[in-house]
Chain A
Amino acid sequence: MPSYAWPPEDQRAYIGKRISRVDGPFKVSGRAKYTYDYNPKGLLYGAVLRSPYAKARIVSIDTSEAEKMPGVKSVHIVQDKGTIIQWAGDDVVALAAVTEDQAEDALRAIKVEWEPLPHFVDDEKQPPAGSGKTSGAMSQDDFVGAISNQMPQGQLIRQLTTDGVSFKVDDEFIKQAKSFSVPQPIIDALQKAPYHPESGDAPRSPYKEVRSETKGDPDSAFKSAEVTSEGVYGATVITHCCMESHGVAAEWPDPDHLVVHISTQSVSSMPGQIAGGLKGQGVNIDAANIRVEQQNVGGGVGSKFQADRWGIYVPMLSRKAGGAPVKVMLERDAELAVAGARPSHFARVKAAASRDGQITAWESEGWGTGGPGGGAAPPLPYVFDVPNQRNRYVSVATNTGPSRAWRAPQHPQAAVITMGALEDLAARLNMNPVELIRKNIGLVTEARRQIYLDELDIADKMMAWSSRWHPRGQGGNGSMMQGLGLSLHTWGGRGHASNCDLSIHPDGSVDIKMGTQDLGTGTRTTILIVAADTLGIPMEQITLNIGDSSYPTSGGSGGSTTIGGVSSSTRRAAVDARDALFAKVAPGLDTSPEKLVARGGRIFVEGDASKSLTWKQACAKLGAMPITVQGKNPGPENLTNSGVGGVQMADVSVDTETGIVKVNKMVAVQDCGLVIDLKTAESQVLGALIMGVSYALYEEKIHDPTTGIVLNDNMEFYRLAGLGDIPEMQVHMMTGKGYDERGVIGLAEPPTVSPGAAISNAVANAIGVRVPFIPLTPDRVLAALEGQKGAQA
């Protein structure tokens, strides 16, 4: 039985070292090809007619004139008459033409008759007290809307089961639902749903209570509390804003085979998703006959797991155009409006503690939107499990582009709310927040108590927190105020299912095939590090093939699961392949395979120079046939783990006359088990801090109340942090004893959780008052200062 365990520190050639991305030069020189760059001969340009209304019924669609326009090769109705559109910018008709201009001209020739319906886009206002308790039965429109708006399956089934339906679910409707590929569990729930005909046409409330939980005895705890603090906290909807927008190119080499280039975080799952979607359009093709290819993806941030509408209608356009390649890349306005949204979460929070700082009670009244489906509650309170707590959350259904997983789904918002409330509580206690956290470390899950305490010490030194921290409002004289803030976070990050093929060829070359993808995080680099370290050869000697659905399947890159998955499957494959090679060469060296080691490009018996071969000599012993093995995760011996902790601190300056916030410095201390590549790990954290500064200060998806459209659907008013806005950043990765032996754990999500909370807390520390919501824009900061003045007067 071979040992797959990660090598001890003194035997690692590459693992844990600082190694630059192998594809860096490719990317910075423009040679790396993205979906956007796929421009084969004869490519047809797709264009999409989008809904100008946030909510409207499509009365009729007439594409006859467009079909006759010059250059138009195919037209596909994405959502037909009768459909109720639930957000502005949603796809209605797609077409393909020889040139981009012809496609755009043809769009203007499509006639759509609309019946605009009242929309609702306001998520910041707290739902009226008591709202969301009950919700009427689903109408047929609601149901169709829920399906087309990608309402999570569990939520839809719950709603059908508890609230019932207001329409007759007959065989015809079931047949129709099946033809739209509605999953069977939903069909089952639909057939069993109670029938409530009377509530059908009543105006529906956008509010729905999705969480109401009490633990311990919060009422008594608040009653006997020595110190309480109350406040409102939250984070507005932001978008994913991928540098490469969503997009697809598709072609049918013959009527039974489809080739798709799609900007995705999940190459291996695409054929199945696309086959399912095409089935709904009456096109039957086996997933096995769909090949998905993508060498590089310009960011996903959680928004690129689904085939999406365009992943289905682009193949349809190609099919209708005789199989010719068709490409649709979302334009920036569409990307911002429909292809990404992080849900908003707001909450009114009350927290209590004893005078010496022991947290005793917590109460939250939360709300927020994930789009037309409403959305789920964030994990409140975050990290700290307060003994007496009550949490209520009302989801707000809005006519806005549906939310998608955004790097560490729900956690950044939960951190803003929880860490904000605890910082406010610390201020009421006249206590340094580091002290408050230390005092209450017992409320943190046991496995991470020591991690957080260790990290707090390190972060404290990096920020010089202990010597520099001041109580609230003592951040200086004059208009510039300075402050410090901190936040804690956690995440899972266990490796996903991953398979790969690894071959050692008789000429000494090695290749790996894996159906994974590299979102820019360094996945390629880390796979090569693990393989090279295990085989004892340079990384350059290994050819790595990823980004193709014809390779062994590997999970989607989300939830920080990639590094654990791909490193484990690669390690197992490389160990098995290496041991197979050992078995081949051991007799010739007059030794047994288990005595052999592979290191420094040689295979040898440790301490016996006479029993040694170069890697090439060893591989030559294979004769004609290469060694090919498959690596898997999960598999024997656990190489990956779950559950990390991180601490971040922010130093800010606030111009109290203009409300403009400048982040001076951020420090991040993070654990993620065994680090494969220290350099890309640190980069991952630096990137998270940059993203964090951006969402803390600038990012916000703004919907017009009157028209419901996204007003800032461009990079001018959807602000992202620029170079001049990035602070000094310091990253410390927790490595070595106590960390390495836990195995490999994902890192993408955790460091992106805390920046908003830490910066918000630093601003409160600077100006002496809480700015309730992020982003911390001048209007919000000035309003908070004004409120403070008002309160003092």
Chain B
Amino acid sequence: MRSFEYAAPKAPQQALGLLGRNWGESEILAGGTDLLALMKDDVVRPRRLVNVKAVEGADLHALMRRQNGLQIGALVSIARVAESADIRQRYPMLANAAVEAASPQIRNMATMGGNICQRPRCWYFRNGFGLLAVDKKTGKSLVLEGDNRYHAILGNEGPAYFVSPSSIVPSLVAYGAKITLASAKGTREVPLEKFFVTPREENQREHDLRPDEMLTFISLPAPPAGARVAHYEVRQKAAVDGPLATCAALLEMSGGTVKTARIVMGHVAPIPWISQEAAQAIAGKPVNEETAEAAGAAAVAQAKSLGRNGYKIKLARVAVKRAILAAAQGGQA
């Protein structure tokens, strides 16, 4: 690891003041479960680390009811989200996604803010070839030319082909989460799905995050009454394994039929993928094997193989189908 300057400020304003104006000047250290690995692999080389774990301001470390919704401090650990009785009761899909994430050790250390801001797991990016993995010699994409078995099947027109890495974010998006971003100049609130962007150039990040900003809060609206939810991960191993495709499904029911649906897919595109096609396919229909299958098919209608990842199209379709079926069969919100 390269040398860096280390700061552990107590005051929130001081923390924000220590952030740089350009990427590379500083990085925020919270759980460190992703950042430290990136630094050891020399993929990210900040000149300064701003450790925010000791920043005062109880809200950053707390789960708080706000009206009928929930505010999650960015420094709340994934383990706390998984264990929270309130979240289990009111946002069970989020609790389940948190329970299935990574390993117990990582869930204890990793924060919710960090989970949202984690970098892609693309093996070209992690091996130092950059976010867009362009071969410097030929100018061609290493992903297209090389081994793309784990890469994007949707939103993969390029030049970014990595997949959105969080298995928790799709559930947050399905619940309609917003996040607060703070800088020394003030704060702004953005819908979580708008926070993720597909970079067009190597020096862009995959987040709508400025170098001098810090994610401070995640706000969830009250879960829609009577909504049914479920999250499904296609994972090769039983645990401690990055999923190949995921889906978070939130169904608002009207009697026996789906009134509206939020279908959010993970690990299939550079951003968490909201499938309007799947939502439309299931809207107005009762949920059964056939309609869920049709929604799955609609979700991947536009999907495209990059060469070696065609199987992921099937997996994504199955994830959508199974999430919808699971939601209808018991996932009471």
Q: Which residues of A contact B (CB under 8 A)?
A: 101, 104-105, 333, 657-660, 662, 697-698, 702, 704-707, 709, 711-714, 716-717, 719, 721-725, 777-779, 782-783
Q: Bound state CA distance, A621 and B240, in angstroms?
A: 62
Interface contact B318-A706, CB-CB below 8 Å: no
| Interface 9-mer from B57-65, B121-129, B215-223 | B121-129
Interface contact B1-A714, CB-CB below 8 Å: no
Instruction: Select which of B123, B124, B145 is within 8 A of A705 by beta carbon.
Output: B145
Interface contact B318-A658, CB-CB below 8 Å: yes
By a CB distance below 8 angstroms, the chain A residues around B244 are 778
Interface contact B146-A778, CB-CB below 8 Å: no
By a CB distance below 8 angstroms, the chain B residues around A712 are 123
By a CB distance below 8 angstroms, the chain A residues around B234 are 658, 660, 778
Assuming the A-B contacts A711-B127, A714-B126, are A722 and B241 also in contact, with contact meaning beta carbons closer than 8 angstroms in the complex?
A: yes
Q: Bound state CA distance, A713 and B126, in angstroms?
A: 10
Find the residue from B145, B147, B235 having the highest chain A CB count within 10 A. Answer: B147
Interface contact A705-B236, CB-CB below 8 Å: no
Interface contact A706-B239, CB-CB below 8 Å: no
Question: Does B279 have its Cβ within 8 Å of any Cβ on chain A?
Answer: no
By a CB distance below 8 angstroms, the chain B residues around A698 are 236-237
Assuming the A-B contacts A779-B149, A779-B311, are A716 and B121 also in contact, with contact meaning beta carbons closer than 8 angstroms in the complex?
A: yes
Interface contact B146-A722, CB-CB below 8 Å: no
Interface contact B238-A725, CB-CB below 8 Å: yes
- Nearest B residue to A781 by beta-carbon distance? B311
Question: Does B314 have its Cβ within 8 Å of any Cβ on chain A?
Answer: yes
By a CB distance below 8 angstroms, the chain B residues around A101 are 1-3
CB distance from A329 to the nearest CB of B (A): 14
By a CB distance below 8 angstroms, the chain B residues around A659 are 311, 314
By a CB distance below 8 angstroms, the chain B residues around A662 are 238
Assuming the A-B contacts A101-B3, A105-B3, A779-B308, are A704 and B146 also in contact, with contact meaning beta carbons closer than 8 angstroms in the complex?
A: yes
Assuming the A-B contacts A706-B145, A712-B123, are A778 and B236 also in contact, with contact meaning beta carbons closer than 8 angstroms in the complex?
A: yes
Q: Among residues 77 to 129 in chain B, which have CB atoms less than 8 Å away from a CB atom of chain A?
A: 121, 123-124, 126-127, 129
Question: Does B242 have its Cβ within 8 Å of any Cβ on chain A?
Answer: yes
Q: Bound state CA distance, A706 and B147, in angstroms?
A: 9
CB distance from A333 to the nearest CB of B (A): 8
Give 1 or 0 for each of B1-35: 1 = CB within 8 Å of chain A CB: 11100000000000000000000000000000000
Q: Bound state CA distance, A723 and B315, in angstroms?
A: 24
Q: Bound state CA distance, A446 and B238, in angstroms?
A: 43
Interface contact B135-A719, CB-CB below 8 Å: no
Instruction: Select which of B41, B237, B308 is within 8 A of A725 by beta carbon.
Output: B237
Interface contact B236-A697, CB-CB below 8 Å: yes
Q: Bound state CA distance, A716 and B124, in angstroms?
A: 14
Assuming the A-B contacts A658-B318, A716-B121, are A705 and B147 also in contact, with contact meaning beta carbons closer than 8 angstroms in the complex?
A: yes
Q: Bound state CA distance, A662 and B237, in angstroms?
A: 9
Find the residue from A658, A662, A698, A777 having the highest chain B CB count within 10 A. Answer: A658
Q: Bound state CA distance, A714 and B318, in angstroms?
A: 28
**Ordered nearest first, which 8 A-B pairs have the shortest CB separation?**
A724-B238, A779-B311, A711-B123, A706-B146, A657-B318, A724-B239, A782-B311, A706-B145
By a CB distance below 8 angstroms, the chain B residues around A660 are 234-236
Question: Does B142 have its Cβ within 8 Å of any Cβ on chain A?
Answer: yes
A-B residue pairs in contact (CB < 8 Å), sample of 14: A658-B318, A659-B311, A659-B314, A662-B238, A707-B135, A707-B146, A711-B123, A711-B127, A711-B147, A719-B236, A722-B241, A778-B236, A779-B149, A783-B311
By a CB distance below 8 angstroms, the chain B residues around A705 are 145-147
Interface contact B145-A719, CB-CB below 8 Å: no
Q: Bound state CA distance, A105 and B135, in angstroms?
A: 26
Q: Bound state CA distance, A722 and B242, in angstroms?
A: 13
Interface contact B236-A777, CB-CB below 8 Å: yes
Interface contact B311-A722, CB-CB below 8 Å: no
Q: Bound state CA distance, A697 and B121, in angstroms?
A: 21
- Nearest B residue to A713 by beta-carbon distance? B127
Interface contact B123-A717, CB-CB below 8 Å: yes
By a CB distance below 8 angstroms, the chain B residues around A333 are 41
Interface contact B3-A722, CB-CB below 8 Å: no
Q: Bound state CA distance, A783 and B311, in angstroms?
A: 8
By a CB distance below 8 angstroms, the chain A residues around B235 are 660
By a CB distance below 8 angstroms, the chain A residues around B315 are 658, 778
Find the residue from A657, A705, A722 having the highest chain B CB count within 10 A. Answer: A657
By a CB distance below 8 angstroms, the chain B residues around A723 are 238-239
- Nearest A residue to B309 by beta-carbon distance? A779
- Nearest B residue to A104 by beta-carbon distance? B1
- Nearest B residue to A333 by beta-carbon distance? B41
By a CB distance below 8 angstroms, the chain B residues around A722 are 237-241
- Nearest A residue to B308 by beta-carbon distance? A779
By a CB distance below 8 angstroms, the chain A residues around B129 are 707
By a CB distance below 8 angstroms, the chain A residues around B146 are 704-707, 711
Q: Bound state CA distance, A779 and B315, in angstroms?
A: 10
CB distance from A716 to the nearest CB of B (A): 6
Interface contact A657-B3, CB-CB below 8 Å: no
By a CB distance below 8 angstroms, the chain B residues around A702 are 147
By a CB distance below 8 angstroms, the chain B residues around A783 are 311
- Nearest A residue to B126 by beta-carbon distance? A714
Interface contact A706-B135, CB-CB below 8 Å: yes
Interface contact A105-B311, CB-CB below 8 Å: no
CB distance from A743 to the nearest CB of B (A): 41
CB distance from A234 to the nearest CB of B (A): 18
Give 1 or 0 for each of B216-260: 1 = CB within 8 Å of chain A CB: 000000000000000000111111111010000000000000000
By a CB distance below 8 angstroms, the chain A residues around B240 are 722
Interface contact B242-A716, CB-CB below 8 Å: yes
- Nearest A residue to B311 by beta-carbon distance? A779
Q: Bound state CA distance, A747 and B164, in angstroms?
A: 46
Interface contact B147-A782, CB-CB below 8 Å: no
CB distance from A487 to the nearest CB of B (A): 23
- Nearest B residue to A705 by beta-carbon distance? B146
- Nearest A residue to B145 by beta-carbon distance? A706
Q: Bound state CA distance, A573 and B135, in angstroms?
A: 64
Q: Bound state CA distance, A101 and B42, in angstroms?
A: 12
Extra A-B contacts (4), CB below 8 Å, given A705-B146, A707-B129, A712-B123: A711-B124, A717-B123, A778-B234, A782-B311
By a CB distance below 8 angstroms, the chain A residues around B236 are 660, 697-698, 719, 777-778
CB distance from B269 to the nearest CB of A (A): 19
- Nearest B residue to A52 by beta-carbon distance? B128
CB distance from A614 to the nearest CB of B (A): 52
Q: Bound state CA distance, A716 and B235, in angstroms?
A: 13
CB distance from A437 to the nearest CB of B (A): 31
CB distance from A661 to the nearest CB of B (A): 9
